[in-house]
Amino acid sequence: MIFAAILAGGTGTRFGAGVPKQFFKINNKPLLVYCIEPFLKVDLLDKIIVSSPKHYLNDTQKIIDEYFDDDKLVVIEGGKTRNGTILNSIDYAIKSGANDDSVMVTHDGARIFVTPKLIEYSIKYANEFGAASPVVPAVDVIFQSKENNKLTNIPERKYLFHAQTPQSFNIKRFIEIYEDLTEDEIKLLDEAMMLFYLRDEEIYLFDGDSSNFKITHPFDITIAKSILGD
pLDDT digits (tens, 9 = 90+) for 19-48: 788 999 999 999 999 999 999 999 999 999
Q: Is 185 in a helix, a strand, or coil?
A: helix
Query: Is the pLDDT at 129 greater than 80, yes or no?
Result: yes
Q: Which of the residue ranges 19-23, 59-63, 91-95, 132-136 would you say has the lowest mean pLDDT? A: 19-23
| Residue 14's pLDDT band (cuts 50, 70, 90) | low
**In the predicted model, what is the mean pLDDT of residues 68-94?**
95
Q: According to the 3-state scheme, what is the secondary structure of 46-94?
A: CEEEEEECHHHHHHHHHHHHHHCCCCCEEEEECCCCHHHHHHHHHHHHH
Percent of the chain at pLDDT exceeding 90: 87
CA distances from 225 to 5, 27, 28, 211, 218 (A): 25, 8, 11, 13, 11
Smallest CA-to-CA distance from 4 within 116, 79, 163, 80 is with 116
15, 24 contact by CB (below 8 A): yes
**In the predicted model, what is the mean pLDDT of residues 120-133?**
98
Residues in CB range of 96: below 8 A, 6 or more apart? 1, 3, 46, 47
**Mean pLDDT across the chain, nearest whole number?**
93
* Confidence (pLDDT) at 190: 83
pTM: 0.93
CATH class for the region spanning 2-228 = alpha beta
5, 106 contact by CB (below 8 A): yes
